[in-house]
């Protein structure tokens, strides 16, 4: 490690070495050796194209969306907003929450861009001049069209500019660290609604279908053609090198658990709209990285989604300061209810996957399909003060997996994992939001945690408050 840091210091300067992670230094040293071997005429495999993530100094103050339903002047405020914003002709409910949230998003985004703007501008200038990326970078299918991208949600920048260009901005006081991105992985290894009380709830609230609520499925591509989802899936953005048109069994199953409309295999909220943000490819090598996951959460905020389902992880959960954890926490404060799978690394302690350690968000562990027992694979806490997942929901197991939408149409075994427990909770939050469109994420979480059932033989590290229950 010391030799790798010495390489960085010698070539890129002291300020880069001081701010670089160990992973970055090792990657740079490998690249340097590969370039040196080429100079000497030694035939070696080409060094892979590697992005750099630049982290900036502490995030700007983020306002927390107020609890609008607790305002005594709510009728008057709503009436005032209605005079400015006519009701949607399609019948979607008017939400003061949306109007206030947009203002908070604009303020937070502007503050972040002020912090990152000068460094971004300089890297872009250098990338277009003498220090522009090599031709293989521009032509690489995994490289986004833009060589340098910003994520205001967690104040980071991902760039494929060469390290020499970054050495020019390392002295800036706004630059906190240089690191490498981390690849995302689905929290699944390859529904029973009675156990969570859904049939009784639906009998009492037959009008609640999730209509007017939008769920961001940040996952693999959700199949547009599945009859149970037809007309309610919108392909928003693709963060992988794999083109649209390659639907994912994982993403399609997640979308179906939330919103499938079928008499026999109904999702929890069969009237909801699904926004598909593709961060997982059909093969793991094509998966997006943690910057892509954070950008997808950010885009869901900007696109006005109400709930984001994240059934993936970016490595072990830490202390809430990782890039993706900061992004999820900021999104929550700006009004996006983020639901995250706990991970499939159990039963050992402290095995939840990032960003399960993010402040505020709902983390979901897995039980068998009947909701009787927390599964061994379901990741445990603690992480950054959280004793474990917030709740558990059916995720299935090898003996009895979750049945849901298949890519080719129809329904069948989708596999098992906390990946499939999380969308059960996203579906329930969708129904809560349909019933009261002005609820903010903290209120949705409070309602979710009001009536769970504690399971025997499992502690808080495994089940949190218990099995979600709405009956």
98 is a domain residue: no
pLDDT of res. 92: 57
Instruction: Looking at the structure, tell me whether residues 173 and 286 fall in a common domain.
Output: no
C-alpha 66/C-alpha 116 separation (Å) is 28
Domain with 146, as residue range(s), is: 2-57+114-179
- Nearest to residue 251, comparing CAs of 209, 285, 216? 216
Which whole-number Å values give the CA distances from 147 to 49, 321, 346, 425, in the listed order? 12, 26, 38, 37
Residue 94, pLDDT score: 63
Whether residues 354 and 266 share a domain: the answer is: yes
Total-model pTM:
0.90
Same-domain status, 293 and 309: yes
Q: Does residue 40 fall inside a structural domain?
A: yes
Please answer whether residues 343 and 356 qualify as being in contact, where contact means their C-beta atoms are separated by less than 8 angstroms: yes
Catalytic residue chosen out of the listed positions 7, 179, 187, 219: 219
Q: Are residues 377 and 247 in the same domain?
A: yes
User: Could you count the other beta carbons within 10 Å of the beta carbon of residue 106?
Assistant: 11
- 334 and 413, same domain (yes or no): yes
Structure tokens at 351: 């095995």
Residue 148 in any domain: the answer is yes
Stretches where the chain sits below pLDDT 50 are 37-48, 190
* CATH code, domain carrying 360: 3.40.50.200
Query: In this predicted structure, what is the pLDDT of residue 131?
Result: 59
| End residue of a domain, out of 151, 179, 207 | 179
Indicate whether 168 and 199 sit together in one domain.
no
Residues 182 and 359: their CA atoms lie apart, in Å, by 21
Tell me, yes or no, if 219 is annotated catalytic.
yes
- Has residue 239 been placed in a domain? yes
For residue 455, what is the DSSP state? P
Q: Determine the straight-line distance between the first and last CA of the chain, rounded to whole angstroms.
A: 56
Domain-located, residue 238: yes
Domain boundary among 150, 179, 208: 179
The catalytically annotated residue of 419, 426, 434, 461 is 419
- Residue 250 is among the residues annotated as catalytic for this protein: yes
Catalytically annotated residue among 250, 276, 341, 403: 250
236 and 136 assigned to the same domain: no
Measuring CA to CA, which residue among 166, 176, 174 is closest to residue 127? 166
Please tell me whether residues 334 and 446 are part of one structural domain.
Answer: yes
Question: Which of 396, 467, 424 shows the shortest CA–CA distance to 190?
Answer: 396
> Quick one: pLDDT at residue 137?
56
Is 27 part of a structural domain of the chain?
A: yes
The answer to whether position 105 is within a domain reads no
Q: 127 with 208, same domain?
A: no
Are residues 242 and 145 both part of a single domain?
no
Three-state DSSP class for residue 382:
coil
pLDDT tens readout for residues 367-415: 999 999 999 999 999 998 889 999 999 999 999 888 899 998 999 988 8
Please state the domain count of the chain. Answer: 2
* Torsion angle (degrees, nearest 10) of CA 257, 262, 263, 269: 50
157 & 208 share domain: no
Question: The tokens of 90 are what?
Answer: 């399609």
Whether the CB-CB separation of 257 and 198 falls below 8 Å is answered with no
* Domain identity same for 160 and 279: no
Q: Is residue 35 part of a domain?
A: yes
Domain boundary among 124, 157, 179: 179
Q: Identify which of 456, 421, 454, 451 has the alpha carbon closest to the alpha carbon of residue 201.
A: 451
Measured distance CA(140)–CA(134) in Å, rounded: 10
């Amino acid at each position: 490690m010391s030799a790798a840091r010495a390489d960085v210091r010698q070539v890129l300067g002291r300020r880069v070495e001081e701010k670089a992670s160990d992973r970055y230094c090792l990657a740079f040293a490998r690249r340097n050796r590969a370039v040196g071997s080429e100079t000497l005429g030694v035939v070696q495999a080409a060094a892979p194209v590697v992005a750099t993530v630049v982290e900036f100094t502490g995030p700007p103050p983020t306002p927390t969306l107020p609890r609008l339903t607790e305002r005594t002047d709510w009728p008057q405020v709503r009436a005032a907003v209605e005079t400015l914003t006519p009701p949607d002709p399609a019948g979607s409910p008017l939400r003061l929450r949306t109007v206030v949230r947009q203002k908070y998003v604009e303020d937070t985004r502007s503050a972040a861009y002020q912090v990152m703007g000068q460094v971004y501008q300089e890297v872009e200038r250098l990338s277009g001049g003498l220090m522009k990326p090599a031709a293989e970078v521009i032509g690489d299918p995994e490289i986004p069209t833009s060589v340098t991208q910003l994520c205001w949600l967690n104040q980071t920048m991902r760039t494929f500019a060469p390290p020499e260009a970054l050495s020019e901005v390392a002295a800036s006081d706004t630059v906190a660290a240089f690191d490498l991105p981390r690849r995302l992985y689905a929290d699944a290894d390859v529904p029973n609604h009675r156990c969570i009380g859904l049939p009784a709830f639906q009998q009492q609230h037959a009008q609640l279908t999730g209509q007017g609520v939008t769920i961001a499925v940040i996952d693999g591509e959700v199949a547009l053609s599945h009859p149970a989802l037809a007309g309610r899936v919108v392909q928003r953005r693709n963060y992988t090198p794999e083109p649209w048109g390659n639907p994912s069994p994982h993403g399609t199953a997640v979308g179906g658990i939330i919103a499938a409309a079928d008499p026999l295999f109904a999702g929890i909220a069969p009237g909801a709209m699904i926004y598909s943000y593709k961060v997982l490819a059909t093969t793991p090598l094509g998966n997006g990285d943690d910057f892509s996951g954070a950008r997808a959460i950010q885009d869901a905020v900007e696109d006005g989604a109400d709930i984001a389902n994240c059934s993936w992880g970016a490595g072990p959960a830490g202390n809430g300061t990782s890039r993706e954890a900061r992004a999820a926490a900021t999104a929550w404060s700006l009004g996006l209810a983020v639901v995250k799978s706990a991970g499939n690394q159990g039963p050992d302690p402290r095995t939840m996957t990032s960003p399960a350690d993010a402040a505020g968000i709902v983390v979901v562990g897995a039980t068998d399909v009947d909701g009787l027992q927390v599964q061994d694979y379901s990741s445990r806490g603690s992480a950054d003060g959280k004793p474990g997942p917030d709740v558990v929901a059916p995720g299935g197991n090898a003996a009895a997996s979750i049945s849901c939408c298949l890519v080719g149409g129809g329904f069948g075994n989708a596999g098992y994992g906390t990946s499939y427990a999380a969308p059960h909770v996203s579906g329930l939050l969708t129904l809560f939001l349909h019933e009261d469109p002005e609820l903010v994420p903290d209120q949705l979480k409070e309602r979710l945690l009001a009536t769970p059932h504690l399971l025997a033989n499992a502690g808080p590290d495994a089940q949190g408050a218990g099995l979600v229950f709405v009956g």
